Amino acid sequence: MALLALSGTAALGQSSGQGAAALTVIRAGTLIDGVSEAPRKNQLIFLRGKRIEKVTDGSGAIPSGSHVIDLSNATVLPGLIDAHTHIFLWGEDPNKGGYDANILKAGIALRAARATYAARRALEQGFTTLRDVETEGAGYGDIEIKQAIEEGTIPGPRIFGATRAISTTGGYNLEDYAPELEMPKGAQLVDGPVEARKAARQQLEHGADWLKVYMTHRSWVDKEGKLVSQPTLTVEELKAIVDEAHGWQKKVACHAYNGIGLQRALDGGCDSIEHGLEMTDAQIAQMLRQGTWYCPTLSPYYDDWAEADTPAGKRDRARAAVHEITFKKALQAHLKIVFGTDMGGIPWTDPIAQEFKRMVGLGMAPMDAIQSATSRAAEMLDMKGEIGVLAPGAYAEVIAVQGDPLKDIGELERVRFVMHNGAIFKNEIAK
Ligand SMILES: [Zn+2]
């Protein structure tokens, strides 16, 4: 099936102009367009080539000779966007060597093969766009996987790649080895604003669509039982990176748990806070003022907890506990919440859409959760109107589920139809 979809994509890539492409019409039983607050019944989506021409109600005339796709028994949505993934990360299960095995036990060809698998997994689950926020020591591999997808060599979603990511000395893995050993690092480590700006320039030169920085690294629970995270980059270092990125009209995603590092992320002008486990009311207010996006990635903090009475076990439980409180505060404050999972930290064999259940479980309305993975994420990616929406002019990125995701958000874990850039990748909708 992948081969069929692949040749379809390649053929589309070679077709000259939209006029040459045939008309395709999708009959949608229910349409959730990614922007509107309510679904619509019995709609027709007219597509030509890679783009949507128009959306009408079901009584509209279908020109003879057009290719009709019958999804009248299904709920049709825009292709989903996961704004926080790592296609080059292959789990962090301690029993399988944890994070370090990714770098120490796998060569670059194996890692590229796994990233190829991850890209395909995303697409078959209806995620037609990923913001992939660093390759964990695999250099500029994300940009090359993106190139392979765009040239039609492998199936995969649209990728916004952050390449290597930036942290400081003492601010990223691999660590805890003998001090005599010069260990490879999962991110580009810098000290001082000059090195920070240089790293930003290097990554942008080599095709980074976004920059990713670590504003906190280790975390633990202090004597009072409070979660503490180690700050990494200073405000001056971050400002150099943000200034450089914004000059290139690119944005900066900031991994930050809480405390000093999260405050520096906001004061340094970051564009999105990743994880944001614990945010004060003042920090949430600052995010509202600055228009900062919030990508909470709830799911990974419920996996692989260490034993309850160990320091790591206490930390794992504290992280999930404060995260829930922060997420609810962010909802109430109407922060711009975008869907992100940290896939890669979570095995790529697991369902990506599991994050929807976490969000809805903490009080987010199902339509709001869907918009966090469609139009709102598109806006963060400067793709408003082009992806994350089913409307004239948008890319033909269309998915469908058999049931009603507004009644059971878990339906999104069972995506049965995927169209990417106007080409059908899979269609398992029952007639
Ligand atoms: Zn991550």
Burial letters 232-245, b for 16+ CB under 10 A, else e: bbbbebbbbbbbbb
DSSP string for 299-325: GGGGSSPPPTTSHHHHHHHHHHHHHHH
In this structure, are residues 200 and 242 in contact, taking their beta carbons and an 8 Å threshold?
A: no
In this structure, are residues 395 and 421 in contact, taking their beta carbons and an 8 Å threshold?
A: yes
Cα(first)–Cα(last) distance of the chain, in Å?
A: 19
- Return the beta strands (E) in 86-154 as ranges: 127-132
Kind and range of the H or E run holding 371 = helix 366-372
User: Torsions phi, psi of 131, nearest 5?
Assistant: -100, 110
Question: CA 335 to CA 287: how far, in whole Å?
Answer: 7
Torsion sign over Cα 7, 9, 14, 15? positive
pLDDT digits (tens, 9 = 90+) for 288-307: 999 999 999 999 998 778 89
Predicted pLDDT of residue 48? 97
168's tokens: 């400081």
Pairing of strands 127-132, 158-161: parallel
For ligand 1, the distance from its centroid to the CA atom of residue 333, given in whole angstroms, is: 24
Task: Please report which residue ranges of 248-353 form alpha helices under DSSP H.
Answer: 259-267, 281-290, 311-332
For ligand 1, the distance from its centroid to the CA atom of residue 359, given in whole angstroms, is: 17
User: Torsions phi, psi of 20, nearest 5?
Assistant: -75, -25
For ligand 1, the distance from its centroid to the CA atom of residue 345, given in whole angstroms, is: 7
For ligand 1, the distance from its centroid to the CA atom of residue 99, given in whole angstroms, is: 12
Torsion sign over Cα 302, 303, 308, 314? negative
For ligand 1, the distance from its centroid to the CA atom of residue 29, given in whole angstroms, is: 36
Please, which residues have CB less than 5 A from ligand 1, an ion? Answer: 342
For ligand 1, the distance from its centroid to the CA atom of residue 266, given in whole angstroms, is: 18
User: Which residues are CB-neighbours of 331 under 8 A, at least 6 positions away?
Assistant: 337, 362, 363, 364
What is the pTM (predicted TM-score) of this model?
0.94
Measure the CA angle with vertex 65, ends 61 and 67; round to 5°. Answer: 85
Residues of the chain with pLDDT under 70: 1-20
Q: What string of H, E and C letters represents the secondary structure of 142-207?
A: HHHHHHHHHCCCCCCCEEEECCCCEECCCCCCCCCCCCCCCCCCCCEECCCHHHHHHHHHHHHHCC
CA 6 vs CA 20, 147, 225: distances in Å = 20, 14, 53
Question: CA 186 to CA 100: how far, in whole Å?
Answer: 9
Q: Classify 356 as helix, strand or coil.
A: helix
Residue matched to tokens 């976490």: 358
For residue 236, the Cα-to-chain-centroid distance in whole angstroms is 28
In this structure, are residues 55 and 43 in contact, taking their beta carbons and an 8 Å threshold?
A: yes
For ligand 1, the distance from its centroid to the CA atom of residue 122, given in whole angstroms, is: 16
For ligand 1, the distance from its centroid to the CA atom of residue 89, given in whole angstroms, is: 9
DSSP string for 406-420: TT-GGGGGSEEEEEE
For residue 170, the Cα-to-chain-centroid distance in whole angstroms is 27
For ligand 1, the distance from its centroid to the CA atom of residue 134, given in whole angstroms, is: 8
Question: CA 231 to CA 266: how far, in whole Å?
Answer: 13
